Structure 1
Amino acid sequence: MFLTRFRLNTARREGRHLLGSPHRLHAAVAMSFADPPPHTSTGPRPLWRVDRNNPADTVLYVVSPARPDMTHLVEQAGWPTADTPGWQTYDYGTFLNRLTADSTWNFRLTANPVHHIRRKDDEPTKRTAHMTPRHQTAWLVTRQEQSGFTIQEKPRQKRVLPEGDELQLVIRDKRNLRFTKKPGSPPVQLTTVTYDGRLTVTDPEALRRTLTQGLGKAKAYGCGLMTLAPAG
């Protein structure tokens, strides 16, 4: 497994063009691999996420079974004349193998928190996005056990609200996305949010699956990739 970091040049029209459509960026990521796995494959798959830290620091992260070649992305949305190649790829497998139970990490996850509702008894269920922070939090909490981690609780002295403020978790950067796959096709609509928090590993093997196979829906469109950082 490999973890790749690519900094996008938002001053270039091509860079903004890619960022404007998850479908276009998905295609650009797929073209980084000579033989990408089919969408129906099981097991580890290419996952990606865009972190918009600020306009001058927009970073594409990719986790993948194969090492990518992002030369085309450098030419389209990077700095083609720079001395460095434009992306950094790291051995992710070594890191994954070092995960141990009860270890603590900061995490970031961009996800598409959804549920299925039926407005009438005689109609089919419909996938609908969770829109409030309370329900978005609950969506992640209900998945933590099977995903190999638990979100840490805040010390009582650091809780601001009397209830609903127990977890070391921040939900931010909500985006309502609307784009088309090709001209004339019906639009795709997604609601995404980014979770920043602190977790404890409960099942290292399950967490490895989460980190390499993604969490939730819309993985092709920049959702599902969780990354970890040392908890300082």
Structure 2
Amino acid sequence: MNDVWLTRIVPHPTSRDARRDLGDAVGLHRRLMSLFPDELGPDPRASLGILHRVEDTPAGPCILMQSAHRPDLNRLPEHYGTTATRQLGPLIAALHPGATVHFRCVANPVRKPGATTRSLYNLPAVVPLSGTHADQWWMRQADTAGLKVLTLHSQPLDSATGVRGTRGADQQRIRHARTRFDGTALVTDPDRLRQKLADGIGRGKAYGCGLLTLAPTRNRESATTP
């Protein structure tokens, strides 16, 4: 993760394009992908290392986007909003065992019941989790990511929704339940953590889920915010 960029976009409240994107997870995904070159293979989002989430702030919503390439913000529509970009390489390289960090991740906690369980209880293939079950899911994800959770606060958010595909039979409505996880953790495996920072956590990464951001505990202001 030598070249990692974090971009903050603060949409202008008068921008019709921005308002539309904020209400459409598929549209926002397309907007962010438009800031990068085309022709990047079958999974361009993964190739570019793009992860994002929408944050609610006292001043209004803002978009945080992490990428392995610097975006061309001139491709945004005129008056879309204000932007800032910074590199995260030095922060990520400085991670070491025993460091204590603040974390935040908006994720899509789910479980996938086996065929027998689905048939017995008439369950879908993917079951969204909430409350204690979502917290337990996050604890497992954090452990896999090289973090030992010390404190945890979770908050359910509105689902990410949108329509993918062209008109007619190709259209597919997407819906990803979202929970925001905040807290502090001890870094146990920096290499695994760096990989998870690059890959994201869980499902729905194209639609605003999975971006994990960290900040040193000595600084309340997120070190991953430009």
TM-score range, shorter chain: 0.7 to 0.9
Question: What is the number of residues matched between the two proteins?
Answer: 208
1:176 deviation in Å? 2.5
Match of 1:98 among 78, 94, 101: 94
1:35 deviation in Å? 4.1
Answering whether residue 105 of structure 2 is matched by residue 112 of structure 1, we say no
User: What TM-score results when the alignment is normalised by the length of structure 2?
Assistant: 0.83
Q: Which amino acid aligns with 2:187?
A: V
Answering whether residue 35 of structure 2 is matched by residue 52 of structure 1, we say no
C-alpha distance in 2 between matches for 1:194 and 1:8: 21
1:37 deviation in Å? 4.2
Q: Which runs of 5+ in 2 are unaligned?
A: 219-226
CA offsets per residue over residues 138-169 of structure 1, 9 Å max, x none? 111112222111111xxxxxxxxxxxxxxx11
Q: Which residue of 2 aligns with 1:171?
A: 154
1:84-163 to 2 correspondence within 5 Å? 86-117=82-113, 118-120=117-119, 126-130=125-129, 132-152=130-150
C-alpha distance in 2 between matches for 1:49 and 1:199: 21
CA offsets per residue over residues 85-116 of structure 1, 9 Å max, x none? x3221121121111111101111101010111
Cα root mean square deviation, aligned: 2.3
Secondary structure of 2:193's aligned partner? helix
Moved more, 112-121 or 133-142: 112-121
Contact 2:27 2:162 in 1 (8 A): no
C-alpha distance in 2 between matches for 1:178 and 1:68: 24
1:170 deviation in Å? 1.2
1:191-230 to 2 correspondence within 5 Å? 191-230=177-216
Contact 1:211 1:225 in 2 (8 A): yes
Cα distance change of structure 1 residues 37 and 226 upon mapping to structure 2, 3 Å threshold:
farther
C-alpha distance in 1 between matches for 2:51 and 2:40: 12
